[in-house]
Structure 1
Amino acid sequence: MSGNQSIIGGDQIPDGFVPIPRMEVRASAGNGRVAIMNDAEAQVVAFKEEWLRRLGVSPRNATIIVADGDSMADTIGHGDLVLLDRSIDHVVDNGIYVLVYGGMVLLKRVQVKRNGVVLLKSDNPRYETEEIQSHEVPELIIEGRVRWAGGAL
């Protein structure tokens, strides 16, 4: 295992690890939403509690989602696991966030300009930056800040 030492699934979680629930991400009519999977078969990913705390993430606020699409490639690829800190519900820096806007759940790099305009950026150059005017910002819902992502090479 690597430095973060995560495990997926399994019935037993070793000492020093904490289970992080995998979230089901879906867009619904009207407002998109992010909901924790409630069924008994929901997968968890376990991370070392010490590693999460070094990242500044409290285990109780951590969740895992699976990236969908290629707009954040090469940083985050389709199918990658993404560790989200849900205690962050507003833009605190020019980081990567999971957000709901225009009825869609998005994974984007977010930049706030001095004039109040918010830029939603994709790391994949094939996608254009979306600009949210300051009067539309209240419609933007921040679900959390991405703290880690990992997937196949």
Structure 2
Amino acid sequence: MVLSQDHGSLAMPRHILERLILRPEHALALIAEGNSMAQTIGDGDLLLIDRSDDGRRRPLASGSVYALTVDDEAFVKRIYREPGRLVLHSDSGAPDIPVDDSRTVRIIGRVVWVGHAL
């Protein structure tokens, strides 16, 4: 699943951010593209990302869903840590993507909320 970002703004009720324990300055909204996370996130779903949860202040939560780039390619995947590498897992059953230390990984943040039309 790749990310698409419109450079506009999105109004979110403060009580939702408080419930998610998410400060407004750490929030990022993205639109998902693709179906590789189909059991959890669908094509066109709105994602709310916590940019403070990027692995620098606290360890990544293995098994959680993160927005990230690997060598400038954007993904939304479930991340698992293994010795010397990360494994990017698609909830749809697509093959896992192993990412070793030779690749450039940038964690954008953890997906904390998903919204979609019924």
Q: TM-score range by the shorter chain?
A: 0.7 to 0.9
Question: Residues 3-55 of structure 1, C-alpha deviation per residue, up to 9 Å, x if partnerless?
Answer: xxxxxxxxxxxxxxxxxxxx953xxxxxxxxxx72xxxx2x322221221221
Asked whether the equivalents of residues 4 and 33 of structure 2 are also in contact (C-alpha less than 8 Å), the reply is: no
Residue 121 of structure 1 corresponds to which residue in structure 2? 89
SS in structure 1 at match of 2:37? coil
Separation of aligned partners in 1, 2:107 and 2:65: 11
Match of 2:78 among 109, 116, 120: 109
In the TM superposition, residue 100 of structure 1 has moved relative to its aligned partner by 0.6
Give 5+ residue unaligned stretches, structure 2.
none
Structure 1 residue 85 and structure 2 residue 50: aligned?
yes
Structure 1 residue 74: deviation in Å? 2.0
Partner of 1:140: 105
Could you tell me which residue of structure 2 aligns to residue 150 of structure 1?
115
Q: Out of 12, 29, 54, which is 1:64 matched to?
A: 29
CA distance in 1, matches of 2:32, 2:17: 20
Give percent identity, aligned residues only: 34
Q: Distance in 1 between matches of 2:75 and 2:39?
A: 16
Write out per-residue CA displacement over residues 68-105 of structure 1, whole angstroms, 9 at most, x where no aligned residue: 00001021000000001111222520211110103211
Instruction: Using the TM superposition, give the Cα deviation of residue 129 of structure 1 relative to its aligned residue in structure 2, in angstroms.
Output: 0.4
Q: Cα RMSD over matched residues?
A: 1.9
Structure 1 distance, partners of 2:22, 2:46, is 16
Q: TM-score normalised to the size of structure 2?
A: 0.84
Between the two proteins, the alignment pairs up a number of residues equal to 112
Question: Structure 1-normalised TM-score?
Answer: 0.66
Structure 1: which amino acid aligns with 2:73?
M
- Runs (4+) of structure 1 moved beyond 4 Å? none
Larger radius of gyration: 1
**Which structure carries more relative contact order (alpha carbon 8 Å, separation 6+)?**
2
1:111 and 1:56 map into 2 onto residues whose CA distance is 23
